[in-house]
Amino acid sequence: MLKNYVLTAWRNLLKTKGYSALNISGLAIGMAVALLIGLWVYDQYSYEKFIPDYQRLYQVRRNFNSNGKILNFASTSLKLANTLRAQVPEIEYVAEVVGIDQHVLLNKDRRLYQTGINIGSDFLKMFSYPMVAGNAATALSETYSIVLTESTAKALFGRDEPMGKMVRIDNKHDLKVTGILKDLPYNTTLRFDYILPFAYTATENHYASQGAANSYGNNGFNIFVKLKPGVSYAQLIPKLKTIEHTETNNNNAMLSEVVLQPIANWHLYGNYVNGKELGGFLDYVHMFTFIGVLVLLIACINFINLTTARSEKRAREVGVRKAVGSLRSDLIFQFLMESLFLTVCSFLLALLLAQAVLPAFNTLTQSHIRIPFGNSVFWLILLGCIGLVALIAGSRPAFYLSSFQPVKVLKGGITTGKSGSLSRKALVVAQFTCSIALIISTIIIYQQLEHARNRPSGYDLSRLMMTSMNSELDQNYTALKHEMLEKGIVSAVTKASSPATDVWWHSNVEQWPGKRAGETIEMGTILVGEDYFKTVGMSLADGRDFNPADSLSVIYNEAAIQQMRIKQPVGQTVVWDTTRKIIAVAKNALMVTPYSAADPTQFFYTPKNSGNFMMYRLSPSISTVDAIAQLNKLFAKYNPSYPYSYVFSDAKYAEKFQLEVLVGKLAGIFAGLAIFISCLGLFGLAAYVAEQRTKEIGIRKVLGASIPQVWALLSRDFILLVLVSCLIASPLAWYFLHDWLMKYDYRINIGAGVFLLAGGMALVITIVTISFQALKAAASNAVRALRSE
């Protein structure tokens, strides 16, 4: 019996090649989209899950009460790390982190400029990365030691055994290789090429020494903790909430609450609203999951419509089978088996399509997805999905076709009737509603992206270059700066504690004019060298720039002055680390995000201690290529231990739009595929309608109907359905997109033009799709259509 059902399905497929091709290709595209999105979503959820006991690993963060507004920071203090070790027995391990830095690693004639992490000795006990060599418990116990990843060790030592060998760092110290880690998988947020013990960093960086552990206010570090087995975060909340409140004279400590973020949430959760973790990249994962389901649903609707539309062609078959004794259940099973057969054919094609476009998809999404053909769980899930799709796509045709009465069918009296026509129309409306909503979404995402891109940034990033500072560069900074200016390569040079496109440090302002009782403000803090504002192209709204005598001065931006409510600020004093005089107010610059208001920021002139970044603006009289060639020689002269590396500030600023650009591209691609699948179904329905109305068209042409009149007759219903879809899709899309836009402080207003444009596009695509069949039918010979009458 099963063989008979498969043979029947195969014969029916061959008999209606055109409709079968539309059915299979539409469903295949929908399944391929759903498969790619499903694999991508799984990949996003897999981050950090490869680490054993990842459920017990957390990052320590702070909720800071800034005048009733709860701000969340990842920056914490060394004192907090020591307190957690001493006072919270539920915590098994604590590891403090200074940050991720780049250093030069040397072994004989081999030199690498790599990214490393400076972290506490318990790190490898917590993050149980697979080790090729060494002991995780002791690998970071020596001050002058280093743990390399497998690829870094191979690049430095080739085929030689690296364990116990010495690696010179920054041409200053020799470090012993005490461990080799397997290369980290791509699905991890914490990425590095080597690990340095925190103890080594403390010898090189005064701020990282234990002298910085005397206050909860020295928040320049990150902390990771691992809870003991059986301990939940909920058990620790009461204890952590007030753990810093022992420093009663420290506003920063008294207004902070310590919270923990599971490392499993690093990748997907990045937004904190009023101190609570509320999504982030997870919102986009949910969005594309929904889009994947929509596209697959649109493909299933195609299958249903095309199958039921051609039901009259199989009516006699149903009548004959019932007349010879077939039960309705047998027919339902037969049609479901046919649906399953077509679904399997579509799935095989979908696999080929997905495999073919996977490299391009990985490039677009910067992923490393592969189809896990050898994974049995993957196949079980797919088999379940195939069965579900076959049931969704085939259930209505199966129940509809099997309901035909044999007497009526064999007399030739069966027609689809209004109920069948209405249901098909409803499904077409549902299809195009989803497609048009996706088109509207793509347009609005693009408009929001362009709105933010075209927003004045408040400073000039063109031809502004940045190079990370190191001890050798810092030592030769003055001489290098002088020669760069003397040769006319650059027009201005400075250094600062934060890059031009971000603010790395936030701190309190203790006192300011008009401060209210119990009020506190935490704002961005940047230590700068001379010519900072000139170099980054930031203007002063009032006052003057720093000069060498301004070691006890401060410049605030307009957002900071507004937050402190200071009128006529220039000349007034504030207390930060000591009493300082306000000498200027800088115009706001969008250093953190182009989607929100400028961050309140304070700038301190510390020419001897301001260098994380060297920044220099290329002279307008020199080409970029020539400038880089000359800079390469100068940096080799003054910074010979390090390779010359740089980034352009405008390229770095453009990275702030990376996520929105990706979302816009993906939304556009999936919207295009959704409308394409819908048009495949529309093309098939138009062909069916034209076939059904062949005699009517012939009679109308005999009576004088023109080709445009016949075209209008066949197209009118479809155009009306698309217009109805526009009316339904517009408010639905507005509701969801308005909610999406609300997370941006700087955003567009959704105008009527977006809906008109999307509706117009859908109408044009619809008219083009159905016109082929409509014009073909209109141009047909009326005599041939009526010759049997």
The helix (run of H) or strand (run of E) holding residue 96 is strand 91-107
pLDDT(317) > 80: no
d(CA 299, CA 305): 10
Give the mean pLDDT of 660-666. Answer: 87
Assess contact for 412 and 708: CB atoms under 8 A.
no
The per-residue pLDDT for 693 is: 67
The Cα angle at residue 475 between residues 592 and 636, in degrees rounded to 5: 85
Q: Rounded CA gap, 280 and 270, in Å?
A: 5
Closest among 65, 62, 168 to 109, alpha carbons compared: 168
**683 vs 681: CA distance, rounded Å:** 5
- Helices 658-692, 17-45: axis angle to 10 degrees equals 160
* Nearest-5° Cα angle at 113, 107 to 117: 100
Question: Alpha helix (H) ranges present in 402-548?
Answer: 406-410, 417-453, 471-475, 477-486, 532-536
Would you give the DSSP letter of residue 729?
H
Strands 521-528 and 601-605: parallel
Among 113-117, 195-199, 325-329, 598-602, the minimum mean pLDDT is found in: 325-329
Please enumerate in sequence order all residues whose Cβ is within 8 A of that of 716, keeping only pairs 6 or more positions apart, or say none.
none
pLDDT greater at residue 566 or residue 519:
566
604 has pLDDT over 80: yes
What are the strands, taking DSSP E only, across 535-619?
Answer: 540-543, 553-557, 573-575, 579-586, 601-605, 613-618
99 pLDDT tier (thresholds 50, 70, 90) = confident
pLDDT computed for residue 56 by the predictor: 95
For residues 592 and 442, the answer to whether their CB atoms sit within 8 Å is: no
Residue 705 to residue 703: CA distance in whole angstroms: 6
pLDDT in tens, 766-780: 888 888 777 766 666
For 450, residues 6+ apart whose C-beta sits below 8 A from its C-beta are none
Residue-wise pLDDT tens digits, 234-256:
999 999 998 988 888 887 788 88
pLDDT tier, 66 (very low <50, low <70, confident <90, very high otherwise): confident
User: HEC states along 308-328?
Assistant: HHCHHHHHHHHHHHHHCCCCH
Rounded to the nearest integer, the mean pLDDT of the chain is: 85
pLDDT number for residue 777? 65
pLDDT band at 781 (very low <50, low <70, confident <90, very high): low
Closest CA to 24 of 242, 313, 338, 418: 338
- Residue whose entry in the numeric block shows the structure tokens 């419509």: 305
CB atoms under 10 Å from CB of 491, counted, come to 18
Residue 592 reports pLDDT greater than 70? yes
| 672 — pLDDT class (breaks 50, 70, 90) | confident
CA angle centred on 123, ends 120 and 126, rounded to 5°: 145
Distances (CA, A) of 373 to 378, 380, 382: 8, 11, 11
Confidence at 653, pLDDT banded by 50, 70, 90: very high
- DSSP state, residue 182: P
List the beta bridge partners of residue 497: none
CA 501/CA 268 separation, integer angstroms: 23
- Cβ-count burial 290-303 (b if 16+ within 10 Å, e if not): ebbebbbbbbbbbb
CA torsion 118-123-124-126 (nearest 10°) is: -150
**CB neighbour class for 780 (10 Å; exposed up to 12, middle 13-18, buried from 19):** middle
pLDDT at 246: 87
d(CA 296, CA 779): 36
- Burial classification of residue 230, based on how many CB atoms lie within 10 Å of its CB (0-12 exposed, 13-18 middle, 19 or more buried): exposed
Q: What number is the average pLDDT over the span 573-601?
A: 91
Question: By the 8 A CB rule, do 223 and 95 touch?
Answer: yes
Q: Pick left, alpha or beta for residue 734 (phi over 0 → left; psi -120 to 50 → alpha; otherwise beta).
A: alpha
pLDDT over 70 for what percent of the chain? 87
Distance (Å, whole) CA 572 – CA 568: 8
Q: What is the mean pLDDT of residues 715-724?
A: 86
**Residues 318-343 pLDDT 10s:** 666 667 666 777 777 777 777 788 88
Between the alpha carbon of residue 588 and those of residues 191, 292, 506, 585, 653, the distances in Å are 33, 41, 17, 9, 16
Predicted pLDDT of residue 555 = 95
Distance set, CA 389 to CA 195, 584, 728 (Å): 49, 66, 26
C-alpha torsion sign, points 274, 279, 283, 284? positive
Reported as a pLDDT band with limits 50, 70 and 90, residue 314 is: low
Strands 256-262 and 173-181: unpaired
pLDDT in tens, 731-748: 999 998 998 888 888 889
Per-residue model confidence (pLDDT) at position 226: 96
